């Protein structure tokens, strides 16, 4: 525990040093030091036609308060981007939405996450159907060390989505086509998924996720390990997918957030600082922290 | 003010200066490694050389050719061909008659006994088995190779000094003379020792075989494998994948690690107390031996399996959980296949240790002198290492080579098991 205290002290010191540097330099700094008090979320956190409604989410790792009182709606057919410096809690928040935080020791999530009139944060909720509804794509491509076909077929098979081999084949083909991977792998469905290139692997993981036909897709920095061409492909893919799915994407690339998302949420040290239409966030940010971040002044 | 500061040395000069020292330490380390390997190889070679050089002669056994007349009058006077009659007939008379035919001038009672002593008691069993298998042999006369006595065998193999004083060797001068006659007639020859691989234990070295002990070991290991592998893997999977972190789990973990270090004889005592005294399982049976060795092997398998499960990258688990697999499905379809090679290695190491284990088997009575080949896990049996121990303890000279031969068989068994492990590993290993 002493460790976390030291860390936060260290962070505060680092923050102070930064502020001082800015004052000495010629940089413009219009507001005073940002404290806990003025970290209320700015912008409209709710949308009328929501798919998931999160209310007062708090996450603790042991004694560490990782995210504080976050209230946010995920709309239907929208892509919402989460941006913010490392360690600000955006991935943690994302993992609340399909209860992936359950797999972490000492992790405690409080608050309400309503989806289809159910609190999916309730311990009595079965995570298996939830994760079938809320799919996830991870930062590092993590195909199973099995064939391309088996990678896609696993989800539909365990959920019993296909009656027979023909249907399963069809699901595999459509999923690969929708992920834009079909043309590249149609001749080597029996080869290990791990033999594909990084970008192909990530699209394979997306295909694996949409094979289960979820309603929401969570993407945790899906392009951070990819080159610009593979990134473009995946962004185009997200654009098409949002016709059917709600997509929540965590990204470190502000350009990516600006390109693909409809709404953007800015996180800072466990707080949700500002939410708004992507255009507004990137052109007229209200909060000082948001402005500093998107103009590249820190982070 | 203008003090002369010595110029800062260039990095490359510093690097160059330290290179010689670095290379020297590298050479030293490589040398030590090489010496260690050479030492290990040397000891291994010495071990193999001593075992093989002592043991290889046991695979051949001196046989004597006899002309055997299956005398109907002697074996089955009433011509009943009945099983019991044939089985209890006096076959050793046939052997004695054949020998007398070879040496008609041997008449005195004492000399006759010495003559008959040249051939193993196993010759009579061999004739009986032949007749039992094919009663039509009665009345026929055949040229047969029958095993010679172990002392004859030792003489032929040069382990008995034929020029020494007669009182200090087990064969009389007259016996050696007869053998020389037989050799001159080419009626004495070293043949492949089938009996060694087909028989159980015996008091007669020439009849003593490894098959009983080998079968005993196989049955014992089968019980051990069937018990310890599923239990070990299930325990490891539960502890690693399902058990919540708690004081209890820590306690179990510590205890498992401690069990791995418990001397094996303690497990033997446990088996004696629990399985034989309390549960009244049969004594000397591979069932009990297998149970005891399973206890001994479990910690090894559990520890190795947990290690294998730990080394499966968590991203695979997340991927499976992410598409909505239950914990069981994740483990069964994705984690276990990746952990299989490591689990198999641990199991084989455990089994190899169990194969070589003697002490606990002594406690549960598998050290008994057992002639019959066990036919299931409830029959009294012994095991390979125990057989080696028993033979090493026997006074007859011929048991020396049999001890080494049994060690060769044990090492061969071990080799086959390890080869199997490597094949299985290769089969289950996957690219990431």
> Per-residue pLDDT tens for A205-227?
999 998 998 999 999 988 887 88
Cα–Cα dist A110/B138, whole Å: 94
Cβ separation of B318 and A100 shorter than 8 Å? yes
User: For A92-105, what is the mean pLDDT?
Assistant: 89
How close B395 gets to chain A, by Cα (Å)? 60
Residue B304 host element (H or E): helix B286-310
Cβ-contact B284, B364 below 8 angstroms: yes
Cβ-contact A59, A95 below 8 angstroms: no
Say what the pLDDT of residue B39 is.
Answer: 97
Say what the pLDDT of residue B136 is.
Answer: 84
Question: What residues of chain B score a pLDDT lower than 50?
Answer: 432
Cα–Cα dist B39/A131, whole Å: 58
How close B315 gets to chain A, by Cα (Å)? 6
pLDDT-derived band of residue A28, with 50, 70 and 90 as boundaries? very low
How close A172 gets to chain B, by Cα (Å)? 14
Cβ separation of A142 and B432 shorter than 8 Å? no
DSSP secondary structure letter of residue B312: S
* Domain boundaries of chain A, sorted by first residue: 48-141+215-294
Cα dihedral sign, A8-A14-A18-A23: positive
Question: Which residue of B321, B329, B334 is in closest CB contact with A144?
Answer: B334
Cβ separation of B324 and A145 shorter than 8 Å? no
Cβ separation of B431 and A138 shorter than 8 Å? no
Q: What angle do CA A283, A93, A114 make, to 5 degrees?
A: 100
Contacts of B326 in chain A (CB under 8 A): 128, 158
Whether residue A41 has pLDDT greater than 90: no
β pairing state of B141-147 and A134-137: unpaired
Cβ-contact A262, A80 below 8 angstroms: yes
How many helices and strands in chain B, by DSSP H and E? 19, 3
Say what the pLDDT of residue A26 is.
Answer: 40
| CATH number of the structural domain A48-141+215-294 | 3.40.50.300
DSSP string, B18-42: HHHHHHHHHHHHHHHHHHHHHHHHH
The CATH T-level fold of domain B212-428 is MetI-like fold (1.10.3720)
Mean pLDDT, rounded, of chain A = 84
* Domain boundaries of chain B, sorted by first residue: 62-191, 212-428
Nearest to A222 by CA among A249, A248, A188, A196: A249
Contacts of B325 in chain A (CB under 8 A): 128, 154-155, 158
Cβ separation of A140 and B324 shorter than 8 Å? no
Cβ separation of B321 and A100 shorter than 8 Å? yes
Cα dihedral sign, A232-A234-A238-A240: positive
Cβ separation of A154 and B333 shorter than 8 Å? yes
A interface residues, B as partner, C-beta within 8 Å: 98, 100, 103, 105, 127-132, 135-138, 140, 142-146, 154-155, 158-159, 192, 194-195, 205, 208-209, 211-212
Cβ separation of A145 and B432 shorter than 8 Å? yes
Mean pLDDT, rounded, of chain B = 89
Say what the pLDDT of residue A89 is.
Answer: 87
Whether residue A33 has pLDDT greater than 80: no
Say what the pLDDT of residue A43 is.
Answer: 80
Contacts of A192 in chain B (CB under 8 A): 430-431
Count Cβ atoms below 10 Å from residue B62 Cβ, excluding itself: 25
B interface residues, A as partner, C-beta within 8 Å: 245, 313, 315-326, 329, 333-334, 338, 430-432
Say what the pLDDT of residue B430 is.
Answer: 62
């Amino acid at each position: 525990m002493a460790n976390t205290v030291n860390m936060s002290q260290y962070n505060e010191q680092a923050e102070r040093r930064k502020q001082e540097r800015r004052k000495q330099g010629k940089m413009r700094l219009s507001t005073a030091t940002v404290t806990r008090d003025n970290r209320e979320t700015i912008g409209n956190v709710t949308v009328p036609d929501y798919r998931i409604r999160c209310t007062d989410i708090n996450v603790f790792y042991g004694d560490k308060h990782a995210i504080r009182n976050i209230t946010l709606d995920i709309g239907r057919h929208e892509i919402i981007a989460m941006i913010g410096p490392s360690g600000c809690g955006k991935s943690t928040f994302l993992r609340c939405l399909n209860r992936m935080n359950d797999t972490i020791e000492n992790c405690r999530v409080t608050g309400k996450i309503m989806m289809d009139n159910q609190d999916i944060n309730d311990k009595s909720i079965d995570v298996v159907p939830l994760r079938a509804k809320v799919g996830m794509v991870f930062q590092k491509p993590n195909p199973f060390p099995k064939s391309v076909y088996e990678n896609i077929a696993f989800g539909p098979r365990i959920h019993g989505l296909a009656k027979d081999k023909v249907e399963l084949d069809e699901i595999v083909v459509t999923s690969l086509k929708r992920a834009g991977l079909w043309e590249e792998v149609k001749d080597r469905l029996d080869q290990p998924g791990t033999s594909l290139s990084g970008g192909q692997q990530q699209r394979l993981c997306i295909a694996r996720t949409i094979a289960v036909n979820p309603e929401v897709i969570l993407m945790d920095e899906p392009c951070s390990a990819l080159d610009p061409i593979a990134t473009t492909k995946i962004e185009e893919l997200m654009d098409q997918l949002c016709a059917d799915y709600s997509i929540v994407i965590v990204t470190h690339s502000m350009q990516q957030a600006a390109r693909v998302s409809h709404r953007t949420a800015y996180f800072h040290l466990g707080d949700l600082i500002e939410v708004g239409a992507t255009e507004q966030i990137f052109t007229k940010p209200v909060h000082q922290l948001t402005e500093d971040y998107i103009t590249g002044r820190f982070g | 003010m203008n003090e002369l500061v010595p110029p800062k040395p260039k990095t490359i000069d510093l690097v160059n200066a330290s290179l010689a020292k670095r290379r020297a330490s590298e050479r030293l380390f490589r040398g030590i490694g090489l010496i260690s390997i050479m030492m290990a190889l040397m000891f291994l070679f010495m071990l193999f050389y001593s075992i093989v050089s002592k043991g290889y002669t046991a695979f051949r056994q001196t046989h004597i050719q006899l002309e055997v007349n299956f005398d109907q009058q002697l074996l089955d006077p009433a011509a009943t061909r009945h099983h019991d009659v044939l089985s209890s007939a006096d076959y050793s008379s046939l052997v004695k008659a054949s020998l007398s035919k070879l040496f008609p001038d041997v008449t005195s009672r004492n000399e006759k006994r010495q003559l008959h002593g040249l051939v193993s008691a196993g010759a009579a069993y061999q004739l009986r088995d032949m007749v039992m298998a094919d009663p039509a042999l009665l009345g026929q006369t055949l040229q047969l190779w029958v095993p010679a006595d172990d002392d004859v065998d030792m003489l032929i193999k040069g382990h008995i000094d034929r020029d020494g004083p007669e009182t200090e060797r087990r064969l009389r001068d007259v016996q050696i003379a007869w053998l020389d006659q037989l050799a001159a007639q080419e009626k004495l020859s070293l043949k492949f020792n089938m009996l060694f691989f087909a028989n159980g234990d015996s008091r007669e070295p020439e009849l003593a075989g490894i098959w009983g002990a080998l079968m005993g070991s196989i049955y014992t290991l089968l019980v051990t494998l069937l018990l310890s592998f599923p239990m070990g893997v299930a325990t490891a999977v539960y502890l690693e994948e399902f058990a919540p972190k708690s004081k209890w789990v820590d306690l179990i973990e510590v205890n498992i690690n401690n069990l791995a270090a418990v001397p094996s004889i303690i497990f033997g005592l446990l088996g004696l107390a629990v399985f034989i005294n309390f549960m009244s399982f049969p004594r000397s049976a591979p069932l009990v031996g297998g149970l005891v060795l399973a206890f001994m092997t479990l910690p090894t398998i559990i520890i190795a399996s947990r290690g294998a499960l730990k080394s499966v990258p968590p991203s695979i688990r997340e991927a499976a959980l992410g598409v909505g697999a239950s914990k069981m499905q994740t483990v069964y379809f994705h984690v276990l296949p990746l952990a299989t090679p490591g689990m198999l290695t641990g199991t084989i190491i455990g089994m190899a240790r169990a194969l070589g284990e003697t002490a606990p088997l002594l406690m549960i009575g598998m050290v008994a002198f057992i002639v019959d080949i066990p036919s299931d896990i409830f029959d009294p049996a012994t095991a390979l290492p125990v057989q080696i121990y028993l033979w090493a303890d026997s006074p007859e000279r011929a048991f020396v080579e049999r001890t080494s031969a049994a060690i060769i068989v044990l090492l061969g068994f071990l080799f086959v098991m390890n080869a199997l492990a490597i094949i299985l590993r290769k089969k289950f290993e996957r690219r990431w």
